[in-house]
């Protein structure tokens, strides 16, 4: 299903005008949002915040059009949106985030449970990490995996989310000293915190995180 959705997305881009992924109106070819929805994005401050003990930065709030983009990437097979999200991250990144100042960092995508990966056909965090790596000239390393129960964060209450991901985060192979974890959206930061703890336990010295969107107040 995911492959079919991506093929349909590619074909529609060849034969039809661009469509806004938020309001379904017309958008400029190659743009995921129309001008109105793009202007409605809630831009966040350049300073990172602490979420479950890890430094996190994202360019936009997880609301409105940004939430629609995340859901389209995650649930509608719109994998091309990963590059648009990466463009927002790189273009708006403060010093020390993806760009020349982040030399020496390695991008590590948050892992997807194998069962969900088989169903979806791709890991949206890895797609964003690859696109950021291409744009910012940073290496990408898939050194994390997820095991245990496959339970989506959707539908879990705040206390359950703050308790961390269902199952466990495992490290496969060596890890770099400086890591920038990559995810599509940050809510409580519990999953990122679990990833950080696993990396630190295996020798990483500095672990921070970036995402496309972040829930306000986190």
For 118-131, the pLDDT digits (tens) are: 888 999 999 999 99
Q: Within 13 Å and on the Cβ side, how many CA atoms surround 32?
A: 24
Q: Within 13 Å and on the Cβ side, how many CA atoms surround 85?
A: 36
* Closest C-alpha to 194, from 178, 211, 213, 207: 207
Q: What are the pLDDT digits (tens) for 47-90?
A: 899 999 999 999 999 999 999 999 999 999 999 999 999 999 99
Domain range 2-150+158-214, its CATH number among 3.40.50, 2.60.40, 2.30.30, 1.25.40: 3.40.50
**Domain segments of the chain as ranges:** 2-150+158-214
How many helices, marked H, and strands, marked E, lie in the chain? 8, 10
Q: 26-40, 137-151, 152-166, 171-185 — which is least confidently predicted?
A: 152-166
Q: Does the structure show a pLDDT above 60 at 105? A: yes
């Amino acid at each position: 299903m995911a492959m079919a959705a991506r093929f349909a997305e590619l074909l529609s881009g060849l034969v039809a005008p661009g469509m806004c992924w938020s309001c379904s109106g017309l958008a400029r070819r190659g743009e995921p949002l129309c001008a109105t929805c793009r202007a409605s994005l809630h831009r966040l401050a350049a300073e990172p915040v602490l979420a479950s003990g890890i430094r996190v930065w994202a360019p936009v709030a997880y609301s409105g059009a940004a939430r629609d983009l995340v859901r389209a990437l995650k649930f509608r097979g719109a994998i091309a949106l990963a590059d648009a999200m990466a463009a927002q991250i790189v273009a708006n990144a403060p010093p020390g985030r993806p760009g020349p100042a982040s030399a020496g960092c390695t991008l590590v995508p948050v892992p997807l449970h194998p069962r969900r990966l088989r169903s979806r056909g791709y890991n949206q965090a890895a797609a964003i990490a690859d696109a950021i790596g291409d744009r910012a000239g940073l290496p990408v390393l898939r050194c994390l995996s997820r095991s245990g129960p496959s339970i989506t964060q959707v539908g879990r209450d705040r206390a359950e989310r703050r308790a961390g991901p269902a199952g466990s985060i495992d490290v496969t192979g060596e890890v770099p000293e400086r890591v920038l974890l990559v995810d599509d959206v940050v809510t409580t930061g519990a999953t990122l915190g679990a990833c950080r703890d696993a990396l630190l336990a295996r020798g990483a010295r500095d672990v921070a995180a970036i995402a496309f969107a972040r829930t306000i107040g986190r």
